[in-house]
Amino acid sequence: MHEVMLTPSTPDAYRSIIRYLTEGKYAFHTYQIKSERVYRVVLRGLHRHTPLHEITRDIEKQGHKVRGVTNALHPKSKMPMPLFFVDLEPAPNNSDIFNICRIFYSEVRVEEPHKRRDVVQCTRCQQFCHTKSYCNRPPRCVHCAGEHDSTTCLKSRDTPATCTLCSGDHPANYRRCQVYKDLQNDARKRTYTQEKRSVDPPPMRASAAVAGSSNKFPILYHLRLPATPR
């Protein structure tokens, strides 16, 4: 099987290619168009049981269009925390939300969300670096590596799991899987390199090369095509 990566130059080209691939029943995954991504911020200072619709209404009164508000849960206890994720519709004034200091009669602080350090994994095909929402690959079970959705798996609890990534005796989302560990290490190296470059200014010729880039829509997706017989 060959894997092809395409980078459309416009949103219209992106949608046309997606339509062609979908109608042709190709296996592929893609990513959300940057211009359609929500603008997410973190909201601190409100009681954890503050009604979400009240938060939405107050933010919209201050000039923003809210797509959704989510109450953050504690990673272990799963209990609500006094922390909310606010997703705004893309707009020129999105950054003005950081000027908000009062919501629902309470003083609040709006912050940027922390960047994820782990490699995202698709719960449909179990591959990495994309999500289920933009995956059109055949499903693979996280438990037995079968070609079916994980929720319909009939594997017995007594039967060892099978990883579709490395064929090991563990689920595909096992964080000690060698495939995941290798990807995570690569991601950490790239993050370290990017952070180092942000501290050490690049040479002038590198800056000129970046400034001269004309790609306004760096939208990537992968497509698997059958190998051509020789």
The domain in which residue 149 lies consists of 118-196
Cα–Cα distance between 180 and 174 in angstroms, integer? 8
State yes or no: pLDDT of 210 exceeds 50.
no
Quote the CA–CA distance of 133 and 213 in Å, as a whole number: 29
**42 and 27 together in one domain:** no
The CATH number of whichever domain residue 64 belongs to comes to 3.30.70.330
Percent of the chain topping pLDDT 70? 82
22 inside domain: yes
Tell me: do 102 and 149 sit in the same domain: no
Number of domains the chain is built from: 3
Give the model's pLDDT for residue 11: 85
Q: Which of 49, 110, 113 is nearest to 81 (CA)?
A: 49
State how far the Cα of 113 lies from the Cα of 134, in Å rounded to an integer.
22
Structural domain includes residue 223: no
Structure confidence at residue 206 (pLDDT): 39
Between residues 42 and 223, the one the model is more confident about: 42
> Bigger pLDDT: 196 or 68?
68
Structural domain contains residue 217? no
Specify whether 15 is located in the same domain as 28: yes
The confidence score (pLDDT) of residue 198 equals: 55
Same domain, yes or no, for 93 and 26?
Answer: no
Q: Note whether 106 and 42 are same-domain residues.
A: yes
Domain annotation covers residue 156: yes
Residue 176 has pLDDT above 70, yes or no: yes
CA dist 51 → 56, 57, 126 (Å): 9, 10, 35
Region 19-24: mean pLDDT is: 91
Where do we find the tokens 């079916």?
A: 148
37 or 190, which is more confident:
37
164 and 150 co-located in one domain: yes
Residues 29 and 43 in one domain: no
**Is 214 within a domain?**
no
Query: pLDDT tens, 88-140?
Result: 999 999 999 999 999 988 999 999 998 777 889 999 999 998 889 889 999 99
219 touches 33 (CB < 8 A) = yes
Alpha carbon distance 4, 17 (integer Å): 13
Note the pTM of the prediction, 2 decimals. 0.59
Could you tell me the two tokens for 104?
């629902």
User: E strand or H helix at 185, and its extent?
Assistant: helix 178-199
Question: Which residue, 82, 111, 140, sits at the end of a domain?
Answer: 111
Same domain assignment for residues 123 and 101 = no
Query: What is the tens place of the pLDDT at every residue in 127-166?
Result: 998 889 889 999 999 999 999 999 999 999 889 999 999 9
Residue 208: inside a domain: no
Specify whether 71 is located in the same domain as 5. Answer: no
**Residue 219's pLDDT band (boundaries 50, 70, 90)?**
very low
Same domain for 99 and 46: yes
pLDDT-above-90 percentage for the chain: 56
Tell me the mean pLDDT in the region 7-16: 87
Decide if 148 is inside a domain: yes
80 shares its domain with 101: yes
Of 111, 139, 173, which residue sits at a domain end? 111
Residue 27 has pLDDT above 60, yes or no: yes
What tokens were used for 194? 């990017």
Contact 68, 45 (CB under 8 A): no
Band (4; pLDDT cuts 50, 70, 90) = confident
Same domain? 3 vs 17: yes
